[in-house]
Structure 1
Amino acid sequence: MVRVLPTLLLLAFTVYCLVSVVQSPDDEVRSLPKWAWILLVLFFPLAGGLAYVIAGRPLGAGARGAGRGPGGRPRPQTPRGPDDDDDFLRGL
């Protein structure tokens, strides 16, 4: 079992990286095109996976800034109720 564990961990890490690459939007993957990351992770599982996690994975929401959507664009405002709208309340 001890000899099989590193192989299982490498396989799990490779699958995690492949799923992450495939599910990431094309315009958010950094450094290389998406297809290049897939090939890199497949042909060099440990080195390619580590490279993707460090340099290719899309930045998280905290790194883009609060209130920002994909690509750093501002998110549209959500609908507000009439009691939250100052202009509506002034008109009453």
Structure 2
Amino acid sequence: MARVIVVLVVVAVAFTIYTLVDVLLTDRRRIRAMPKAAWAVLVVVLPVLGGILWLIVGKARRGPGRMSRTVAPDDDPAFLGTLGRDEVARRAEQDERLRRLEQELADLDDDNPPPAER
């Protein structure tokens, strides 16, 4: 029974530390109901209950306004539109070089290997 209590105390302390750090690092615009300092005091004074209240009531799910989604450059039309003709020419040059190298490799594969010396 003592082990269970020790484990529960460790979990409660870890949860309290997590929520306290989360309160302190959260942007002020995402905090609801009370000021940041009041939330920090509540989390410390009421360890588990304060942390639960913080996660349910105090922290807004999203930031103010619409949060933007990260888009990879290949999927971003704005980024693709900024690529100039130099980029297209460079890619065409790389494709041509790759084609030549593949042809050279194919030519080398077609040659018969020299006979092994005995």
Report matched runs for 1:1-92 at 5 Å: 1-60=3-62, 70-73=63-66, 75=68, 79-82=78-81
Task: Measure, in 1, the Cα distance between the counterparts of 2:39 and 2:77.
Answer: 35
Q: Which has the higher contact order (CA 8 A, sep 6+)?
A: 1
How many equivalent residue pairs?
Answer: 74
Gap regions ≥5 residues in structure 2: 69-75, 84-118
TM-score between both structures, scaled by the size of structure 2 = 0.54
Task: Measure, in 1, the Cα distance between the counterparts of 2:24 and 2:81.
Answer: 42
Task: Report the 3-state secondary structure (helix = DSSP H, G, I; strand = E; otherwise coil) of the residue aligned with 2:61.
Answer: coil
After the TM superposition, which segments of 4 or more aligned residues of structure 1 sit over 6 Å from their partners?
none
Gap regions ≥5 residues in structure 1: 61-69, 85-92
Contact 1:24-1:58 within 8 A present in 2 as well: no
Identity over aligned pairs, percent: 31
TM-score between both structures, scaled by the size of structure 1 = 0.68
Aligned-residue Cα RMSD (Å) equals: 2.5
Q: Per-residue displacement from partner, 1:1-60 (whole Å, max 9, x unpaired)?
A: 222011001001101101110110011111111000000001111121111111001214
Higher helix proportion (structure 1 or 2): 2
In the superposition, relative to structure 1, how do residues 3 and 71 fare at CA in structure 2: closer, same or farther (>3 Å)? same
